[in-house]
Amino acid sequence: MEYQLIRSRRKTLAIEITREARVLVRAPLRCPQRTVDRFLREKEGWIATHLAQMQARRQAHPEPTAEQEAALRQRAKEVLPPLVARWAEIMGVEPCGITVTGARTRFGSCSPKNRLCFSFRLMDYPMAAVEYVVVHELAHIRHKNHGPDFYAEVETYLPDWQTRRQLLKRS
């Protein structure tokens, strides 16, 4: 198996599957190579599963061209404001604004001042998933963490939120 080994002043071994579907192994400076090799053998199944998932995700959602990105951004600017307004009214919350970003690792966020950010990449997913992200971020206006009260809030408005969230992971 091909992998990149990164040694640093850490105490544990770790494996990371990158967005490019590469395997990174992080190891302590003095960790023997045989320990790294044994660790990789023990984790072969996990690595194979996660590599396959990342490759499938990359095929389903390749990096957009400049034209595709512009189209996705435009769609986000058309779809998200009315969707946020509708759900904000239903939930009884008031976001202070919406921004469309190019974030790669998160579909949405809510700032401490209740400003919502959404990645244009979200527009590449089913509308049920988009609605879940909108409700998720609006719920952060009341609950700034992912505790039980937060998920109870999300479930109040989207009883099928777990199914919708899976759309983001499977697609």
pLDDT tens for residues 44-69?
999 999 999 888 888 888 889 999 99
Q: What does the domain layout of the chain look like in residue ranges?
A: 4-60, 66-170
Q: What angle do CA 110, 141, 78 make, to 5 degrees?
A: 55
Better-scored residue on pLDDT, 58 or 129: 129
Contacts of 102 (CB under 8 A, 6+ apart): 69, 119, 120, 121
Long-range contacts of 40-45 (CB under 8 A, 24+ apart): 40/1, 40/3, 40/15, 43/15, 44/1
pLDDT value at residue 169: 84
pLDDT for res 61:
83
Coil vs helix vs strand at 6: strand
Cα–Cα distance between 110 and 81 in angstroms, integer? 15
Burial class (CB in 10 A: 0-12, 13-18, 19+), 53: middle
Distance CA 77, CA 122 (A): 12
User: Which has the closest alpha carbon to 161: 121, 126, 129, 139?
Assistant: 129
Model pTM above 0.95: no
Percentage of the chain modeled with pLDDT above 70: 99
In whole angstroms, what is the distance from residue 14 CA to residue 94 CA? 41
Whole-number Cα distances in Å, 47 to 8, 12, 123: 21, 17, 29
Indicate the fold that domain 66-170 takes in CATH.
Zincin-like (3.30.2010)
